[in-house]
Amino acid sequence: MPLVKVAKVSELKPGTVIEVSAGGKPYALCNVDGALHALEGVCPHRGGPLGQGSLQGAVLVCPWHSWEFDCRTGENTWDSATRVAKVPVTVAGDDILIDVP
């Protein structure tokens, strides 16, 4: 699986989420108190753009209908059987890279 540079650490402040793209797919990149997490960026409800959502603690809220996912696990906060896939994150200097499938 290739490592793809998607952002700079300086672009992703603690407590924020940004949408990035790699291999033609969107990902949600979250900074939870300095720990970086990447999730596939399409909401399993109706396909909302998770990377354009909001981050509340470790919980990423979909901008379309407010489904919530824990950035650390990808699990929906109401139904742990519903989840979005996590992808590994690597930091090299100021670069953030994700390991895309």
Minimum separation from the CB atom of position 46 to ligand FES (A) = 4
Tokens of 80: 């742990």
Residue 64 is a binding residue for ligand FES (CB under 6 A): yes
Q: Which of 18, 32, 38, 67 binds ligand FES (CB under 6 A)?
A: 67
DSSP of 45-94: TT--BGGGSEEETTEEE-TTT--EEETTT-BBSS-TT-B--EE-EEEETT
Size of the site for ligand FES (CB under 6 A): 10
Residue 75 is a binding residue for ligand FES (CB under 6 A): no
